Amino acid sequence: MQPAPSVSAARRGVLSRAFHCTALAWLATLPGTAHAQSPLLAVASAIPRAPRHTVLVVGDSLSAEYGLARGTGWVALLEQRLDVERLSARVVNASISGDTTAGGLSRLGALLKQHRPTHVIIELGGNDGLRGLPLADTQRNLTAMTRAAKGAGTQVLIVGIEVPPNYGRRYTEEMAALFTNVAKAEGTPLVPTLLAGVGDAEFQADRIHPLASAHPKLLANVWPALKPLLR
């Protein structure tokens, strides 16, 4: 029976193998040796790189695919568009049906900490309007969300929404204006209204949520404002 190798001998073996791997890695960088790539380098090159950008969408039912088959809403279409454009980005959809600006503000801090996004899309305010909540509170919440996201080092895109005209001309006009007010005050890009170009026949029976067939239009409204931020 062979005697067990000494600690120093075992250590020399480890150092030898480490030197061998380092030498192979160096040789693979020399001209004419690309065909002789080591298994170690092959494994390393096969590991997918982390996306350059993380886009966090904080919205309500318009972004949460309410009444739609999964994967057919505008946020899912955004993921597909990023692939087509070969942009290194992943999308985190943190939208919740029925959410308000107050709800979004209350959970934004945890979302920023968990996902560490490079970009935040805020699509909230519609439910504030439908509930007739004070617009001053809505504007204050959107401002706080924008500042919190910017404070975490992200770029922010605000997406506006319009309420039905039966809420009265003054309320609907003030609702539309508050998104512009926040975007101007905070220096952030703005999509004036997510539902621009969606016709009456393109809504679900509730007359609030677009059909899946209309969601490419929603993405078409968002994409021109978002794309420059991803370069």
Q: Contact 129/165 with Cβ under 8 angstroms?
A: no
Nearest residue to 158 via CA among 145, 170, 169: 145
Active-site pick, 60, 63, 209, 215: 209
Catalytic residue, candidates 61, 63, 95, 128: 61
Is the Cβ–Cβ distance between 91 and 79 less than 8 Å? Answer: yes
Q: Tell me what pLDDT residue 214 has.
A: 98
**Which pLDDT does position 165 carry in this prediction?**
83
In the set 6, 35, 45, 206, the catalytic residue is: 206
pLDDT for res 34? 46
Give the Cα-Cα-Cα angle 61, 66, 71 (nearest 5 degrees): 110
115 counts as catalytic: no
Q: Find, among 12, 9, 16, 41, the residue nearest to 28 by Cα.
A: 41
Question: 24 and 38 in contact (C-beta within 8 Å)?
Answer: yes
Predicted confidence at residue 3, as pLDDT, reads: 46
The pTM for the full model equals 0.80
In the predicted model, residues of the chain with pLDDT beneath 70 are: 1-48
- Catalytic, 61? Answer yes
Q: What is the predicted pLDDT for the residue at 80?
A: 97
> What is the pLDDT, as a whole number, of residue 167?
86
Angle between helices 39-46 and 7-27 (to 10 degrees): 70
Mark whether 206 is an active-site residue: yes
Task: Give residue 23's pLDDT.
Answer: 45
- Give the pLDDT confidence of 85-135 residue by residue, as tens digits: 999 999 999 999 999 999 999 999 999 999 999 999 999 999 999 999 999
